[in-house]
Amino acid sequence: MSKPNKRRYKLSEVKAQFTEAVGGDQVEFETDAGDCLTFPHPLFADDDWSEKVDGAESSKDKAIAILGEEQYEKYQAAGHSDGDIGLLFLAVQQDMQDQVKKRPTRS
């Protein structure tokens, strides 16, 4: 009787596969004023960042939680609304779901 084929994962390889699949551990985007801003990719964000984003009660609070105060000021100065960052965040999450489905399960 043969043993069933078991999968064994190596955590560093799994993380590398997901990082590659979603394009890195940071999300970069350009404002209409040409500033390049970043925030942690939700898949790799630390607990503090995730808790701030999840606990935000308004669009403005969520935008500040995602971008941080300094980048939020640049974002606002470029004429973007607080809701726009929510749309970007949603696009990142949808892209992540699409890309993760395509990642190899093993190296």
pLDDT (tens digit, 9 = 90+) per residue, 8-54?
889 998 888 888 888 889 999 999 999 999 999 998 999 999 999 99
Residue 104 predicted with pLDDT over 70 = no
- According to the model, what pLDDT value does residue 60 have? 95
Asked if 54 and 66 touch (Cβ cutoff 8 Å), the reply is no
Residue predicted with more confidence, 24 or 71: 71
Average pLDDT in the chain: 88
Sequence-ordered list of residues with C-beta below 8 angstroms from that of 27, at least 6 positions apart, any chain: 38, 39, 40, 41, 88, 92
Q: What are phi and psi of 4, to 5 degrees?
A: -65, 150
